[in-house]
Amino acid sequence: MNKLKERWNIQSNFQLFIILLVFAITGSTSALIAKPLLTLLGITKESVGLWFYYPLYIIIILPIYKILLLIIGTLAGQHYFFLNFIKKMLNRMGLGFLFKNNE
């Protein structure tokens, strides 16, 4: 845990707990939101087939995850940590241009 705290520049075990809790809540929530969203758009396993549905499901989860991560992280008092985390994630995906300031 100390390596993780050092890598993320986290000062306390409580802050680490909050950050890990936000990751857990966000991952579960984004997966729960994506399925009804696809259904709302008329995309089901039966209508498009499994080979198209699951990749689309994963693609839909990615932006939902990032939005929820920032919202839930902000509510948990860790706005700057998650904003920087999302910036790094987008840079690694080649989408860093979405932020004006890519520090």
For residue 50, the model assigns a pLDDT of 87
Query: Contacts from 53-62 at CB under 8 Å and sequence distance 24+?
Result: 60/34, 61/30, 61/31, 61/34
Q: What is the pLDDT of residue 79?
A: 92
What's the one-letter identity of residue 26?
T
State the average pLDDT over residues 56-65: 91
Cβ proximity of 78 and 31 under 8 Å: no
pLDDT(20) > 90: yes
Average pLDDT score over residue span 95-102: 64
Whether pTM > 0.85 for this model: the answer is no
Domain ranges of the chain: 2-98
Q: CA torsion, points 52, 55, 61, 62, in degrees to nearest 10?
A: -130
